[in-house]
A and B are shown apart, each in its own frame.
Chain A
Amino acid sequence: MTNAESPRTAPDLRAIDAIRAELSSARGDDFWHRLEELSARPAFQDWLQQEFPSQAPRFVPALERREFLRLMGASLGVVGLAACTRQPDERIVPFARAPEYVVPGQPRYFASALTLGGAALGVLVESHMGRPTKIEGNPDHPASLGATDALAQAAILSLYDPDRSHSCLRAGQIDTWSAFTGELSGRLERLAALQGQGLSILHAGESSPTLADQLARLSTRFPRARVHRWTPVHRDQERAGAELAFGRDVGTHYHLDRAEVVLALEADLLGSGPGAVRYARDFAHGRLGRAGAAGMNRLYAVESTLSLTGAMADERLALRPSEVEGFARRVARELGLAVEAPALDAFAERFAVAAARALDARRGAGLVVAGREADPAVHALAHTINYELGNTGATLEHTDPLDDLARPAAADLRALVEDVRARRVDTLLVLGGNPAYDAPAELDFAGALASVPFRVHLSAQVDETSALCHWHVPEAHALESWGDARAHDGTVTIVQPLIAPLFGGKSALELLAFVLGEGEKSAYETLRERWRAKSGLAGADFERFWREALHDGVVAGTGAPGVEVHLRSSLDFGASPATATGGLELALRPDASTFDGRFANNAWLQELPRPITRLVWDNALLIGPRTARERELENGDVVELAHEGRHLRAPVWVVPGQAEGTLTLHLGYGRRRAGALGTGVGCDAYALRTGERPWFVTGVELVRTGERHELVTVQKHPSQEHRSLARVATFDRFRADPLGATRPEHGTSELAPPSLYPGFPYEGHAWGMVIDLNACIGCNACMIACQAENNIPVVGKGQVANGREMHWIRIDRYYEEPAGTVDERVTVVHQPVPCMHCENAPCEVVCPVGATVHSSEGLNEMVYNRCVGTRYCSNNCPYKVRRFNFFPYADFETESLKLQRNPDVTVRSRGVMEKCTYCVQRINQARIQAQKEERPLRDGEIVSACQAVCPTQAIVFGDVNDEASAVARLRKEPHHYGLLAELGTRPRTTYLAKLRNPDAELSGT
């Protein structure tokens, strides 16, 4: 085909006719089911574009899915009505040849790694009869220590996403891998003759040594080929900052456990970015609030938008992004560095001085962190301060950067586009990523791409970029392919597949192997060759090395060595930047759910309430209360942003703690081709994002459009109404009066107020849980881990809007505004709320059919199959932790989703109540195991899903009757209390109050 013809304009007619045929043959429900499965096919999108262009995005979003399920409720109803008729025959299908080591019914765990934002997170993947069903952290992995973040938990759903690409596409038409390799090899022959002149490769900058090695070897066959890398969430600022300070790029990572004072500059180091999970753990351990604790670290946060880190801060200052550098300068000068600093407003001034003093007082035990989104100058200032205070080497260390690339990402991509424009690119291989969607706006990458003679896109979904390429090759999921990846500190993990590619995907390694002329060489061979070479081992030794690496999930001794760096003698920060103009500033951030847009079609993440805002199924333009008042804006008002001739429409959401005059918008929404769920959700922030200023732009124009957009949040009321639900005290008060510090002004904190009831005796085990509010950072990992473990369905935006979300554990977020201070100084407390498993459970007494009763070990059991759905229990639950299937929410249709389900947990159907069970399936398995081994259960042997995933170990589960158990010990802490215990519910889930460590110089404004 000719260059002029763009595949986008040539929808796949053959496939469309096929679809028409299939649909016309179907009737009734069957029609919808068929339609749903078809909708997963890429050709279906084309069909939609053809049939009703305007409808296309709105045709099969989440709500419609629910609509289908609704209709199917009828058939379920019939099943129920026929209750007296006998069970239908069921087939039982064994293996023909059983694989080795597989015990039917017993799960197995495999170590692997998931890569995000250029760094790997070590994981253990639970596999049931060959189906990966759940992801846990790998305790041996430095970035995980057994925990994961929410995104890693959701990866399992991405694996089974029915909207994943199912086959190679040539110009949008279904084609085969061999056809692709055939066409590609021809071109490669020609290119090889030209020494690779005209061959360009754009990869997504993941941290795989083997991939890097392959790319390096490319020069042997194609000396003149060019390799570029683009990922929208890059470390360009960090890199520039390091070069500014040290004259070279370095990787920087922190030892928060050693830091007593931390100053975070526009840095969400607990919430996102490489190592966040590990940093959260270290940080929490640096501030364990326990009786008799000697001390507690103190976090100063300076940021433009309220992040999880800011929410954890003991002292927080909201500044516009452009003001952060000035603040950093002020701190530096206060520390006696020869840096020019602008004048700050009164509070910022005091804040800077206080922070500086604190850092000065803790030389070598302090730490200044500049965030991924902070300007290079801020990074350089942070480096300087750390260097001068002797923190470098103590609380942080420098290594070689994970990626040794010639250029920063933005520059790299610009170079590629320039090549293309200059017609220097004949063949472009895009390995992963989605540049047509997330490239800097000024490049018009999509436009440029369309002019490349031959373009190939390797990706998991048929996305915006695939639509522009001649060839789309389905990419294998990390859980489907061999590979390797490096953690933030350089440690390498061998990525091993848990399952053969569901939809015949290929990994970048395989595609590159083909490009390198190694034919159909498997990623496995490539990997082993590379590591045989790297390890210098052979034969049995190598096999042992290999087995250990696979088993442990880490390759021993691959952590990046520290490097000695010194400040440039010529380092000069020059004049302080002009103070911000009156105009608005727009800060751009990667999203907690979609990240850079890659997870847009992940229903779990879309329905996971975003940190702080608790919004679902949307991104919104965050705006401070005062600014909103000035602009007469309310939640949901759609505004138009304009900057340098670029425009963007977004609904606003008012957030306290947002720096006034600053707007924040998260990346990763407004996808045009993300699949049935993600397409058209939210607004595309990339429209205003340039390579020059990737993280914030100044002088943004804001115009009200008068339109409204419904934004849905799971928490409609922001304050605790002085009910001392999530209790907070200062560390000093706690030390002075451990018991009194967290006592509420009214109500009681005693767990079991007197009762007329004799109370049930609990000999043997008595399960309980303690949640340490002081450790909880509100990262949502527990919510989604619970969702994965317990087959919790998603319900869609509309249902959430109606208060019907299904999460078994939720995180309540309460704002507290210190008396007489401005909105920016709001503080936040997070409170995870699972079922309390009350000993005097109000829900049980009112159930007319006994569908919820108590177990002999004190579990509040919910028996789905007995439940008729009166919802009385939910009304009577003071904690409102019960969830009801108002519709048949669980997807009983989509085959691939069935594979993900945990076989040990019932999939609930329409009309039944459900709630947290303390992961009773895990309790039972552990008990049975212990019984079989004829030994008592050990403390810590049973780990609930939420506990396992928690990065800060805020959740502890165990036997409260066992004096020695961790949970029993925590229940003896002075600041231990039961939520609403004064109602006499005797909750088994209890809390440790949150402790703040404010700076005396700042507190009491």
Chain B
Amino acid sequence: MSAPHRHAHRCFGVLAQYTSGAELLAAIEHGQRHGYTNMEAYTPLPMHEVSHALGHENDLPKYVLAGGLLGATVGFGMQYYAAVIHYPLNVGGRPLNSWPSFIPITFELTILFASLTAVLGMLALNGLPRPHHPVFSVPEFEQASRDRFFLLVPHYDPRFDADESARVLRASGALSVSEVPHP
């Protein structure tokens, strides 16, 4: 496995540009037919087909559920501890554990924790924030946030070879293909 290493020194990967999602999908198929298993696609808008094609899995919801449950526990626990255990006070003749009154805050904290988990989880799993990324070095790439679609064969793809991969991508009907230099 010296090849990737050698190439790694040369470049990060090979990036191809397309003008529509349809072309991108076709290209992915093309690439996979050539045995690339670790490609990455860049689109100006969310496209489930693409991620399906690339076979990404996503377990964010599990984390969010956990976050929500934690929020609920913390919420009710705090109130119960304060009112019943820590300093039990007779407030307006209500029972110490007046659980109906504790529901709103429990609910709010559930939502809060779940939401925070969703956002932070999304960022963490996506490895964001990452202001510097090799693909940004490719001049055309700024069109990725406008109307262009990109497909990357990264150096860590087992079958990666700068020239070979470039040729395959060109064959996939790319508008342009460029090498992504290493930082």
Contact = CB atoms under 8 A, between A and B. Distances in A.
Q: Consider the complex of A and B and state whether they touch directly, i.e. have CB atoms less than 8 Å apart.
A: yes
A757 B96 CA distance: 11
Contacts of A843: 92
Interface string A850-864: 100111100000000
Contacts of B90: 760, 853-856
A956 interface: no
Interface string A442-481: 0000000000000000000000000000000000000000
Contacts of A758: 95
A757 B95 contact: yes
A854 B95 contact: no
Contacts of B94: 757, 840, 845
B58 to A, nearest CB: 41
B1 interface: no
B89 interface: yes
B91 interface: yes
B95 to A, nearest CB: 6
- Majority SS of interface residues in chain B? loop
Contacts of A847: 91
B91 A853 contact: yes
Contacts, number: 37
Contact of B92 (A840, A855, A856): A840
A759 interface: yes
B101 to A, nearest CB: 8
B131 interface: no
A559 interface: no
A844 interface: yes
A807 interface: no
A843 B91 CA distance: 9
Nearest to A840: B93
Contacts of A856: 90
Interface string B70-98: 00000000000000000001111111000
A850 B91 contact: yes
Please tell me the size bucket of the interface on A. Answer: 10 to 19
B93 A760 contact: yes
- Majority SS of interface residues in chain A? loop
A844 B95 contact: no
Nearest to B93: A840
A759 B91 CA distance: 11
Contact of B93 (A839, A850, A855): A839
A150 interface: no
A986 interface: yes
Nearest to B89: A853
Nearest to A841: B92
A841 B94 CA distance: 9
Q: Which of B89, B93, B95, B101 has the most CB of A within 10 A?
A: B93
A691 interface: no
A878 interface: no
A842 interface: yes
A379 B8 CA distance: 123
Interface in A804-859: 838-845, 847, 850, 853-856
A855 B88 CA distance: 11
A892 B80 CA distance: 41
B171 to A, nearest CB: 69
A929 to B, nearest CB: 26
Interface in A749-772: 757-760
Interface in B112-133: none
Contacts of B101: 845
Contacts of A838: 92-93
A842 B91 CA distance: 9
Contacts of A841: 92-93
A765 to B, nearest CB: 14
A839 B90 CA distance: 9
B93 A757 contact: yes
A850 B95 CA distance: 15
B161 to A, nearest CB: 65
Contacts of B95: 757-758
Interface in A849-891: 850, 853-856
B93 A759 contact: yes
Interface string B25-48: 000000000000000000000000
A854 B90 CA distance: 5
B83 to A, nearest CB: 10
A855 B94 CA distance: 13
A844 B95 CA distance: 13
A842 B89 contact: no
When A and B form their complex, which 6 residue pairs have the shortest distance between CB atoms, in order from nearest? Answer: A854-B90, A844-B92, A845-B92, A840-B93, A841-B92, A853-B89
17 contacts: A758-B95, A759-B93, A760-B90, A838-B93, A839-B93, A841-B93, A842-B92, A844-B92, A845-B91, A845-B101, A853-B90, A854-B89, A854-B90, A854-B92, A855-B90, A856-B90, A986-B93
Given A839-B93, A845-B101, 11 more contacts: A757-B94, A759-B93, A838-B93, A840-B93, A844-B91, A845-B91, A845-B94, A850-B89, A854-B92, A855-B90, A856-B90
